Chain A
């Protein structure tokens, strides 16, 4: 299905990617070409088929219900968690003001 520039602008906004008019104009035909091509999937009769949910049959495990079962992914690692933040302040992630 073809998408026009307005549709691409809407998708870009949903995806939180700022795009200039030029970029939108370039992207619209590229996305249309790809979406036209994937349309061929419509030819396949899938009425009797379930969508795949797991490529290799596997059951999800539960970990032991204890604090810091794996110290690497447990708690008390504030500084490590913040180490790569662009603006860490007072032990928190800093962001622009969101409430007036």
Chain B
């Protein structure tokens, strides 16, 4: 029999339902893989008992002849940005170390209700701010991938969902939750040769997700196939009255409606994404992507998204502005860290707590956000960025007159080495140049693996869809998956 850790979401769910193996066996196999994967530093805490308890519930339900949920028997990794009742939730920040929520986030609760179990809480960039998983208080996550020339340099698993991408690529978990504010699902998925989808803004409840930039934050699944992403997104999504921006729409039957037949569909290729400095191998993967989608029956058309180059600078005003406001809650009073120097008053306590609790990147973004929102600068920075955001969304609106889905690279380069970009915040930000426009427009977008580059590292292709059309994105992703036949996986060194 295939090793249970090689199986994806669908194979596990269907195998458990058919009685080929028990959910408990699946949970045990993955708990063992988690315990053996410590060198990746992907987990902040592990929760083997949670996985086992969920599995036993599924096995008992099956024995009793009850109907099983969409994720029944599937153990997953949970990004440590989701509040989990009774299990430490830190956002990878010292300021939340030891915080043990009294409640469960809507998305994680939806997954448990669908029969999933939790292997542990996954490491990430601190408060999801970063693109390499190097800003975590709990240390870097190391990608399971290495250069094929034998170089042992530790590579970045991408960020912010770097723990999620690492464990899914390393066959430690069949799937994991991610969150995407400006590429934090898609970029790590591309770096590690897996799939990840950010749905339309509002599909997944933000209730119980540690807030970074509320107008951009969206949860989504990361897994090794398009089908697995469709299944897991179906379990995560749904209207939640506790989130004021939650979409009050039924959750479509994404899994049942998957189809790689793209006849009659138009795929837009935006000329502005052909940027200077993009790796030639990335451009090559893009060409192949066009061929694959043509082969699936789609027509490929050139489109223009003229404000693309302004998306990243607009993002780096809007996201820090929202972050500076959201992170004002960490004050050393209600939860988390408190630093109280001798003789300190309330204001000194706030300042000392936040100085000790936040990492450098978080401080940098809070300061930028505070600056652009301050009196005298608000209009020039924040309002101008929100106006540009309107233009970026309008670019996409116009494009939908010409095409049904957009194909682009996910990232301008393959994974870089840890440490490569840490001294230059701006160079790090530029890694999300292709991911950010869809975030600003609230659109569903997915990364699927396309090929390996000359160094043996995965490259991803991105599909961007119309608002509410996750199905179109998943279907185009499936067409690429079937033709790319990407089956490379990292050689085990950990």
Contacts and interface: CB of A to CB of B under 8 A. Distances in A.
A80 B340 CA distance: 24
Contact of B310 (A18, A35, A44): A44
A87 B441 CA distance: 42
6 A-B pairs with least C-beta separation? A51-B386, A55-B442, A86-B338, A46-B387, A84-B335, A18-B351
Interface of A: 3, 8, 11-19, 27, 30-31, 33-35, 37-38, 40-44, 46, 49-56, 58, 60-61, 63, 70, 72-73, 77, 80-81, 83-87, 93, 95-98
Given A44-B310, A61-B241, A11 B387 contact: no
Contact of B316 (A38, A83, A98): A38
A3 B374 CA distance: 13
B383 A86 contact: no
10 contacts: A17-B355, A18-B355, A30-B364, A40-B313, A44-B387, A51-B387, A56-B201, A80-B103, A83-B100, A95-B333
Contacts of A70: 241-242
B425 interface: yes
A31 B374 CA distance: 15
Nearest to A80: B102
A56 B200 contact: yes
Interface residues of B, number: 74
Contacts of B309: 40
A51 B426 CA distance: 25
Contacts of B116: none
B385 interface: yes
A34 B441 CA distance: 22
B367 interface: yes
B432 to A, nearest CB: 14
B96 to A, nearest CB: 9
A15 B323 CA distance: 11
Given A15-B370, A80-B102, A86 B307 contact: no
B43 interface: no
Contacts of A96: 340, 344-346, 349
Given A41-B385, A63-B241, A16 B335 contact: no
A58 B370 contact: no
B278 interface: no
A17 B346 contact: no
B374 to A, nearest CB: 7
B390 A15 contact: no
A46 to B, nearest CB: 4
Given A18-B352, A31-B367, A85-B334, 5 more contacts: A15-B367, A51-B390, A58-B245, A87-B338, A97-B345
A20 to B, nearest CB: 9
Contacts of A83: 100, 102
Most buried by B among A17, A19, A60, A96: A17
Nearest to B216: A55
Interface in B258-306: none
Contact of B391 (A18, A40, A42, A49): A49
